[in-house]
Chain A
Amino acid sequence: MDKATSCAHAVEMIPDGASLMIGGFLGVGTPHRIIDELVRQERRNLTVIANDTARPGIGIGKLIAAKLIKKLIVTHIGTNPETQRQMIAGEVEVELCPQGTLAERIRSGGFGLGGVLTPTGVGTLVAESKRTIEVDGKLFLLETPLTADFALLAAHRSDYRGNLEYSLTARNFNMVMAPAAKKVIVEPEHIVPVGAIPPDSVATPFACVHYIVERCANGQ
């Protein structure tokens, strides 16, 4: 069960038109080498589910600049003027989702739930075309699950089985995305022997990780 692979090979598995969950918050906790490789291999018509599109030239901002994205499901694009420009010009479809709701939609997708009921967004534009459900006198929106073909994650350490440990705010969406995609590719800062990460420190267990991107001599 060898999960270690090169960045180039990992990205070769991703076809045009794939749906991708990408970890990170304004580029922190984002798998930067995988993104660079997506740009180099010019994977097109991607659907990207992520918190944001970072800033121009950083993280997912590179996929925006290279016009590789067809559809975005994100919470915030205010830090990347090019994303706003492409959205207004009709070049990219943007579905804006409240941040807590995005996290829970991904969680329900990964954990076998039929969606979540959240009070966030009730009575606002976000509620349009969604079911509002009353539970014990309180109103909630039914938010449906999200899954993806691939999750592209960043971690602080991975062992060779794929147990992941995160660092500080670089954890963000990585942890919840791992169970929600068919194939999970992780880009750790360090790969360590199995057993080196104590069980209590494993935030994402190996069962949700399929490929571990190694650092290669050529930098890819």
Chain B
Amino acid sequence: MDSKNLIAKRVALEFQDGMLVNLGIGLPTLIPQYLPPSVTVFFQSENGIIGLGPAPGPGLVDASLTDAGGGFVGAIPGAASIDSCFSFGLIRGGHLDITVLGGLEVDQEGHLANWMVPGKMIPGMGGAMDLVTGARKVIVAMNHTAKGKSKIMKKCSLPLTSVRRVDLVVTELAVMAPTDKGLVLKEIAPGVTLEEVIAATEATLVIPDSVPTMPITLDE
């Protein structure tokens, strides 16, 4: 299992039956395949649908039904189409249970930076600022390091997406939760040592006496 699928499998454990969830593009879209059949989650796509379903088969695509990445999708029974105002009203208004986003950096205060690298790459924030500000629970799903450099920082060097503290950070090495007491190490990935996590983390971690292993298996 590669690191992205490991992260997706771990994040899937956070979802409960009946939740309304928004998934960012990229890694978070791998999550639904790891949901147990007993859990039905309504996925919101900020371009205007709640109740996103798997992509339909060849020849059954509806050109007016896409996700926020522009890909063709389906809709499950009970889905609803909404306009952009309502979509972001759901997000800002606290009606979204969970948002899962990728990140460029997260710091030990729980701040996320994921929308620009000044002078280099400025894709824009899209819906990310609203999602991080308004969702009930914000989960950052990303690799722990990039090009050998820790993405879990003491303080973000890039412009922040929101001053709101995220709730959970899941990487291929660990699960961490920003709290009033600091960035708490909650779980370590199977086969990874505490020393490896510390070495890959620039932030100061609050490490409890006993840190459990992520409750997942590494089979596909």
Q: Are B130 and A87 in contact (CB under 8 A)?
A: no
Q: Are B84 and A77 in contact (CB under 8 A)?
A: no
Q: How far is the CB of B6 from chain A (nearest CB, A)?
A: 26
Closest-by-CB residue of B relative to A118 is B92
Q: Are B64 and A126 in contact (CB under 8 A)?
A: no
Closest-by-CB residue of A relative to B124 is A76
Q: Are A171 and B88 in contact (CB under 8 A)?
A: no
Residues of B within 8 A of A76 (CB): 123-126
Q: Report the bound CA distance from A23 to B93 in whole Å.
A: 24
Residues of A within 8 A of B75 (CB): 168
Q: Are B68 and A25 in contact (CB under 8 A)?
A: yes
Q: Are B163 and A51 in contact (CB under 8 A)?
A: no
Q: Are B63 and A100 in contact (CB under 8 A)?
A: no
Interface 0/1 of A166-188, CB less than 8 Å to B = 11111111111000000000000
B194 at the interface (CB under 8 A from A): no
B48 at the interface (CB under 8 A from A): yes
Known: A25-B66, A27-B70. A103 touches B88 (CB 8 A): yes
Q: Are B85 and A104 in contact (CB under 8 A)?
A: yes
Q: Are B88 and A100 in contact (CB under 8 A)?
A: yes
Residues of B within 8 A of A119 (CB): 92, 133-134
Q: Report the bound CA distance from A173 to B84 in whole Å.
A: 6
B107 at the interface (CB under 8 A from A): no
Residues of B within 8 A of A87 (CB): 122
Q: How many chain-A residues does the 8 Å CB contact rule pick out? A: 48
B45 at the interface (CB under 8 A from A): yes
Closest-by-CB residue of B relative to A156 is B64
Known: A26-B70, A124-B160, A172-B83. A98 touches B127 (CB 8 A): yes
Residues of A within 8 A of B121 (CB): 84
Q: How far is the CB of A86 from chain B (nearest CB, A)?
A: 12
Known: A51-B84, A120-B134. A98 touches B70 (CB 8 A): no
Q: Are A176 and B84 in contact (CB under 8 A)?
A: yes
Q: How far is the CB of B126 from chain A (nearest CB, A)?
A: 4
Q: How far is the CB of A99 from chain B (nearest CB, A)?
A: 4
Q: Report the bound CA distance from A103 to B89 in whole Å.
A: 10
Residues of B within 8 A of A169 (CB): 45, 47-49, 64-66, 81
Residues of B within 8 A of A26 (CB): 47, 66, 69-70
Q: How far is the CB of B109 from chain A (nearest CB, A)?
A: 12
Q: How far is the CB of B117 from chain A (nearest CB, A)?
A: 12
Q: Which of B106-134 contact A (CB under 8 A)?
A: 121-130, 133-134
Q: Which of A96, A100, A170 meets B122, CB within 8 Å?
A: A96
Q: Which of A73-125 contact B (CB under 8 A)?
A: 74-79, 84, 87-88, 96, 98-104, 107, 118-125
B187 at the interface (CB under 8 A from A): no
Q: How far is the CB of B172 from chain A (nearest CB, A)?
A: 24
Q: How far is the CB of A143 from chain B (nearest CB, A)?
A: 12
Residues of A within 8 A of B92 (CB): 100, 118-120
Most chain A C-beta atoms within 10 Å of own C-beta, residue among B63, B75, B83, B159: B83
Residues of A within 8 A of B11 (CB): none
Q: Which of B44-101 contact A (CB under 8 A)?
A: 45-49, 62-66, 68-70, 75, 81-85, 87-89, 91-92
Q: Report the bound CA distance from A104 to B48 in whole Å.
A: 15
Q: Are A28 and B124 in contact (CB under 8 A)?
A: no
Q: Report the bound CA distance from A119 to B85 in whole Å.
A: 15
Q: Are A28 and B160 in contact (CB under 8 A)?
A: no
9 contacts between A and B (CB under 8 A): A25-B84, A78-B124, A87-B122, A103-B85, A121-B133, A124-B159, A166-B81, A169-B66, A172-B83
Where the two chains meet, the residues of B that have a C-beta atom closer than 8 Å to any C-beta of A are: 45-49, 62-66, 68-70, 75, 81-85, 87-89, 91-92, 121-130, 133-134, 159-163
Question: What 7 pairs between A and B have smallest CB-CB spacing?
Answer: A78-B123, A100-B88, A123-B163, A26-B70, A100-B130, A76-B126, A170-B64
